[in-house]
C-alpha cells in the first residue's frame, strides 16, 4: 500500500474515529463525506468504544499471501455499542469458537506486513471479551 | 424503444485453457456468434471483462478485441462490474440496439484467470480494499459470512448448501462446455477441504478461462440472421453496499432483488412465469440467496430448494441447467454472457439432455463482488 494512503487511513485504523450524521444519527465507520442513509453532509466526530459483538463470522483456511502464516484465522463482522459495523479478525482464541453473538474487545494490533519493503500495517483486532 | 433479439451465440469451452490467450478466446467466441447468425458486419461491440489489467496486464480491451476480430473501425467498449461485467456488456448492447443508435451489436464476456496471476488477490479487488481486504478477508470468506448469517437467521444447514453443488454438478455433467462436467456426491461435498468455514472446496466455483459472445439486433431485422431469435424482454441493474458490514441484513442481497424487480416490471411478468433460470452461484450460498431475492422461493426458504428438487431439472423452476458457475466454471467477466447463452439455447429447444420442456421464458442473473452489483435479463422465445 502506498504510504500516503496508509497515512490517510490512520485516524480510522489507529483511533477508531467514526462520524455520526448530524441529520439522521447514523454512525458511519470509516467516516464518509455523504451519509449513505440520508445523504446528509454534516457529521460530528465520534470515537468508537473498544468493544463489539459478532454479527457473522468465518474461519479463513485459504488466505491471501500476506496472511499465509496466520491461517486458519477467524474473521467477523462486528457491531459496536454505537451501531458501527466493520470487518475485523478475532484472535487469541480457537477460531472455530468465533460465532454470531460473541462479545469481543478491540485491541490495537499489527494487521499485516506489506510487500518487500515490509511496511507494518496496524489496526484493531477483536479478542474474547474480558 | 425498439424490440431487441439475440440472433447468434458462440463460446469457448470453459476450463484451464493453457494454449489460449485472452484474445484467442475472444476471437473464438465472437466469430462463433457471428457465424451462428451468418453476420458479416457489426456496428458496435461491448467487451465485459473484470480485470484484463491484473490477470494478464492488458487494458484497452475494446479496440484490441475489435482488431483481432478483423473488425477494426467499429465502436468497441470495455465494461467492468467485477463478476457482473458480462451481464453489464449485454445490458449496454441491449440499450444501444433498443435506442436505435445501432443495429448489429456484439456483447461479449472474457476472462483469462490461469496465466500466473495471484487469483485470490485479483478477485479481492472486487471487495472493499480499505475496510475488508486490508484485514485479510477473501471472497470465499465474504460468502462464508453470508452463509453463516443465513444459517443463523433461517436455520439453513451445511447439507442444504452441499445439495446446491450436487444439483449443479449433476446438470453440468450434461454440458460439454463445462469445466467440471461430472457429478459429485453429497459425501464428497461434505468432506471436501474447508476454504473458509462453513464453505468447503466443493461449495466454491472454480478458477476458469473462457469467453462467450452473443449477437443482438432489432427484432424486426432478426429474420435476416435466424429463424429462431430470442427476445430480450426485460433488463434490470442495481447496486448495493460494497462492504458486507454496511448491509442491514448480511443474509439478503438487496441488489439482486432490485435488479430483478426492474427486469420483471419491464417484462410485465413475475417470478412464477419464469420457466428456466441461470443465477450467479459463485458459491453454493449465493444460489440460495439469489433464488430468494428473485422471488423463486420465499425469503429464508431457499435452503432446502435444491435438496427437494424444486430448483433441479424437472422441478418447479430449474436453476442453473448449464451446471452454473459451480460446474460449468466461472471465468468472471464471461459468466454473464455464458448464462445468457444457456437461456438462449433453452428457449430455442437446443439444450439437448438438459432441455427444460416447453421453456418459453428464461431469466439470467449475474452478480458482482459479494453482491454490490447485480444485473438481471429476461428472455422470451419467439
Contacts with A32 (C-beta within 8 Å, 6 or more apart), sequence order: A19
- Is A64 in contact with B136 (Cβ distance < 8 A)? yes
Give residue B17's region: left, alpha or beta (phi > 0; psi -120 to 50).
beta
Residue A63 has pLDDT above 80, yes or no: yes
pLDDT classification of A113: cutoffs 50, 70, 90: confident
DSSP codes of every residue in A78-126:
EE-TTS-EEEEEE-SS-GGG--TT-EEEEEEEEEEEETTTTEEEEEEEE
Peptide bond into B275 cis (omega under 30): no
- Is B196 in contact with A58 (Cβ distance < 8 A)? yes
Nearest to A87 among B132, B193, B199 (CB): B132
Q: In what order do the strands lie in the sheet with B105-112?
A: B75-79, B44-48, B105-112, B209-218, B4-11, B230-239, B373-381, B361-368, B276-278
The span from the CA of A61 to the CA of A71, in Å, is 6
pLDDT classification of A5: cutoffs 50, 70, 90: confident
CB-based contact B304:B284 (threshold 8 Å): no
The span from the CA of B338 to the CA of A40, in Å, is 41
Instruction: Name beta bridge partners: B276.
Output: B362
Closest CA to B47 of B32, B29, B21, B34: B29
For residue B198, what is the nearest residue in chain A, using CA coordinates?
A58
B280 is catalytic: no
pLDDT for the residue numbered A2: 64
Closest CA to B377 of B26, B127, B84: B84
- The whole-angstrom distance between B240's CA and the closest CA on chain A is 11
**B5 in helix, strand or coil?**
strand
* Catalytic residue chosen out of the listed positions B169, B203, B330, B377: B330
- The whole-angstrom distance between A85's CA and the closest CA on chain B is 5
For residue B142, what is the nearest residue in chain A, using CA coordinates?
A58
B330 is catalytic: yes
- The interface pTM score, or ipTM, of the predicted complex is 0.95
pLDDT for the residue numbered A1: 62
For residue B246, what is the nearest residue in chain A, using CA coordinates?
A85
- Is B149 in contact with A86 (Cβ distance < 8 A)? no
Per-residue pLDDT tens, chain B, 382 aa: give them.
999 999 999 999 999 999 999 999 999 999 999 999 999 999 999 999 999 999 999 999 999 999 999 999 999 999 999 999 999 999 999 999 999 999 999 999 999 999 989 999 999 999 999 999 999 999 999 999 999 999 999 999 999 999 999 999 999 999 999 999 999 999 999 999 999 999 999 999 999 999 999 999 999 999 999 999 999 999 999 999 999 999 999 999 999 999 999 999 999 999 999 999 999 999 999 999 999 999 999 999 999 999 999 999 999 999 999 999 999 999 999 999 999 999 999 999 999 999 999 999 999 999 999 999 999 999 999 9
Q: Which H helix or E strand runs over A56?
A: strand A51-60
The beta-strand segments (E) located in chain B are: 4-11, 44-48, 75-79, 105-112, 194-197, 199-200, 209-218, 230-239, 276-278, 361-368, 373-381
Give residue B131's region: left, alpha or beta (phi > 0; psi -120 to 50).
alpha
Q: Is the pTM of this model over 0.90?
A: yes
Closest CA to B65 of B32, B23, B126: B23
Task: Give the CA count within 13 Å in the CB-facing half-sphere of B182.
Answer: 6
Give the three cell numbers for residue B262: 426492474
Give the β-pairing of A51-60 and B194-197. antiparallel
Nearest to A61 among B121, B146, B196 (CB): B196
* Catalytic residue chosen out of the listed positions B83, B204, B282, B289: B83
DSSP codes of every residue in B104-148:
SEEEEEEEE--SS--HHHHHHTTS-TTTTGGGT--HHHHHHHHHH
The span from the CA of A60 to the CA of B194, in Å, is 8
Average pLDDT, chain A: 94
Instruction: Name beta bridge partners: B110.
Output: B211
Give the β-pairing of B373-381 and A119-128. unpaired
Amino acid at each position: 500500500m502506498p504510504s500516503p494512503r496508509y497515512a490517510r487511513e490512520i485516524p480510522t485504523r489507529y483511533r477508531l474515529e467514526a462520524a455520526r450524521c448530524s441529520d439522521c444519527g447514523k454512525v458511519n465507520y470509516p467516516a464518509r463525506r455523504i451519509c449513505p442513509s440520508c445523504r446528509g453532509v454534516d457529521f460530528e466526530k465520534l470515537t468508537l468504544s473498544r468493544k463489539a459483538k459478532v454479527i457473522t463470522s468465518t474461519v479463513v483456511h485459504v488466505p491471501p499471501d500476506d496472511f499465509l502464516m496466520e491461517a486458519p484465522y477467524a474473521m467477523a463482522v462486528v457491531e459496536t455499542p454505537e451501531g458501527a459495523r466493520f470487518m475485523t479478525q478475532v484472535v487469541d482464541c480457537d477460531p472455530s469458537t468465533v460465532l454470531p453473538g460473541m462479545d469481543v474487545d478491540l485491541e490495537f494490533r499489527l494487521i499485516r506486513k506489506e510487500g518487500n519493503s515490509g511496511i507494518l500495517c496496524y489496526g484493531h483486532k477483536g479478542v474474547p471479551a474480558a | 424503444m425498439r424490440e431487441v433479439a439475440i440472433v447468434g451465440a458462440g463460446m469457448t469451452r470453459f476450463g484451464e485453457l493453457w494454449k489460449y490467450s485472452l484474445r484467442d478466446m475472444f476471437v473464438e467466441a465472437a466469430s462463433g456468434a457471428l457465424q451462428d447468425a451468418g453476420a458479416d458486419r457489426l456496428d458496435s461491440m461491448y467487451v465485459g471483462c473484470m480485470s484484463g489489467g491484473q490477470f494478464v496486464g492488458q487494458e484497452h480491451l475494446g479496440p484490441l478485441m475489435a482488431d483481432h476480430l478483423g473488425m477494426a473501425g467499429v465502436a468497441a467498449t470495455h465494461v467492468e462490474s467485477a463478476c457482473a461485467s458480462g451481464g453489464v456488456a449485454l445490458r449496454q448492447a441491449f440499450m444501444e440496439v433498443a435506442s436505435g443508435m445501432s443495429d448489429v451489436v456484439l456483447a461479449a464476456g472474457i476472462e483469462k484467470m490461469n496465466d500466473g496471476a495471484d487469483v485470490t488477490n485479483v478477485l479481492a479487488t472486487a471487495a472493499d480494499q480499505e475496510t475488508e481486504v486490508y484485514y485479510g478477508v477473501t471472497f470465499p470468506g465474504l460468502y462464508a459470512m453470508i452463509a453463516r448469517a443465513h444459517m443463523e437467521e433461517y436455520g439453513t444447514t451445511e447439507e442444504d448448501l452441499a445439495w446446491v453443488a450436487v444439483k449443479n454438478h449433476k446438470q453440468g455433467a450434461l454440458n460439454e462446455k463445462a469445466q467440471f462436467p461430472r457429478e459429485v456426491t453429497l459425501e464428497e461435498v461434505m468432506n471436501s477441504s474447508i476454504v473458509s468455514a462453513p464453505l468447503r472446496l466443493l461449495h466454491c466455483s472454480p478458477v476458469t478461462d473462457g469467453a462467450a459472445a452473443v449477437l443482438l439486433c432489432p427484432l424486426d431485422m432478426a429474420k435476416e440472421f435466424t429463424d429462431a431469435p430470442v427476445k430480450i424482454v426485460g433488463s434490470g441493474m442495481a447496486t448495493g453496499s460494497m462492504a458486507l458490514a454496511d448491509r442491514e441484513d448480511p443474509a439478503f442481497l438487496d441488489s439482486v432483488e432490485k435488479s430483478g424487480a426492474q427486469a420483471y416490471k419491464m417484462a410485465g411478468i413475475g417470478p412464477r412465469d419464469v420457466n428456466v433460470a441461470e443465477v450467479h452461484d459463485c458459491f453454493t450460498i449465493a444460489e440460495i440467496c439469489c433464488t430468494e431475492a428473485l422471488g423463486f422461493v420465499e425469503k429464508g426458504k431457499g435452503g432446502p430448494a435444491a435438496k427437494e428438487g424444486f430448483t433441479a431439472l424437472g422441478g418447479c423452476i430449474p436453476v442453473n441447467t448449464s451446471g452454473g458457475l459451480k460446474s460449468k466454471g466461472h471465468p468472471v467477466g464471461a459468466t454473464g454472457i455464458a448464462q445468457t447463452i444457456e437461456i438462449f439455447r433453452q428457449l430455442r429447444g437446443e439444450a439437448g439432455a438438459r432441455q427444460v420442456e416447453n421453456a418459453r421464458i428464461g431469466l439470467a442473473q449475474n452478480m458482482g463482488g459479494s453482491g454490490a452489483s447485480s444485473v438481471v435479463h429476461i428472455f422470451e422465445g419467439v
